Amino acid sequence: MFTIEEILRATGGRLISGSLKTEIKGVSIDSRTIQPGELFIAIKGERFDGHDFVEEALRKGAGGVVVAGDSPKTGTVPFIRVKDTTISLGDIGGFHRKRFSIPVIGVTGSNGKTTTKEMVAHILSKRFNVLKNDGTQNNHIGLPQTLLRLNSTHGACVLEMGMNHSGEIARLTRILKPTVGVITNIGASHMEFLGTIENVLMAKCELLEGIDAGGAAIINGSYPMLGKEARKRFRGRVITFGFDKGCDIMAEDVLSRDGWTIATINGVHKLRLNVPGRHNIENALASWAAASLLGLEEKLILNALSEFKLPPMRMELIDINGI
């Protein structure tokens, strides 16, 4: 998967011991599950410090170790010293992502990013083998770990990107290097960290600055400030979706009942979702836009959305004694 020389190139680290030519079979941050030949990255978290588990990783056959600061005597096992192991994990994930010339879609927003990511992945799976992340793997630890699963069988990658603070989406975008960026909406989420809706908008728009020059941005057309900021930050194609006339992908005649929602898309296509809520029509519109950009036909998109089901425990309707 990597040589130690490539790890040094990705991280800018310093080789303390071992050979540049040593081959690494994978990357792990967990000494409990590390496999022989994998690189162990000693992440320092809030409740644990991976440096305390370096010896365990070595006993289990780690092919190399990335640490911040001093390291034990290692013999022939490659040890790499870096300033920050968490940053290095992202750097390695980003290095690996650059090996693949496939569509990469980054999804963020105050609400709906998990559902939108799942919808996009479901549609694209009709044509590609799609890599996607779990909802809990959308941060500076989980996103690069997901990217490290990319292989030659994948034809597309769809990752959601979470945040709490300004600058976090910018960092994830530098790692992901998306060809398409989706902003589902701007809301009050993260206000406890960012203070104002304007600050939330600015933080979400960090995604736009990292989109590939030949790529596209997909944004919710219901937010004039978002449209203005998007066109200021991104010089490529901007596609809008929503319920307002003038949106590139527009829904009208929305009707929602228990367990389903219907709408007319662009005045022509009749869409029935097997999930409730007007907001899920917005998620479907964003997904429609992303799939269209990748060349999927409208009929295929419509059929895929009509059979889409939410992951378990997400807006799941449960009948209890007839209630």
The sign one gets for the Cα dihedral 281, 284, 290, 294 is negative
Last residue in a domain, options 71, 92, 113? 92
pTM over 0.75: yes
- pLDDT tens-place string over residues 39-60: 999 999 889 999 999 999 999 9
CB count within 10 Å of CB 161 equals 28
d(Cα 160, Cα 100) in Å, to the nearest integer? Answer: 18
Based on the domain organization, do 81 and 125 belong to the same domain? no
Q: Please give the tally of structural domains in the chain.
A: 2
Q: What is the CATH number of the domain that holds 286?
A: 3.40.1190.10
Same domain, 80 and 116: no
Summarised one tens digit per residue, pLDDT across range 185-231 is: 999 877 777 889 999 999 999 999 999 889 999 999 999 999 999 99
CA–chain centroid gap for 198, Å, is: 23
Q: How far apart are CA 174 and CA 105, in angstroms?
A: 13
CATH number for the domain spanning 71: value is 3.40.1390.10
- The interaxial angle of helices 4-11 and 85-97, nearest 10 deg, is 110
Look up the domain containing 13 and give its range: 2-92
pLDDT, tens digit, 9 for 90 and up, residues 72-125 = 666 899 999 999 999 999 999 999 999 999 999 999 999 999 999 999 999 999
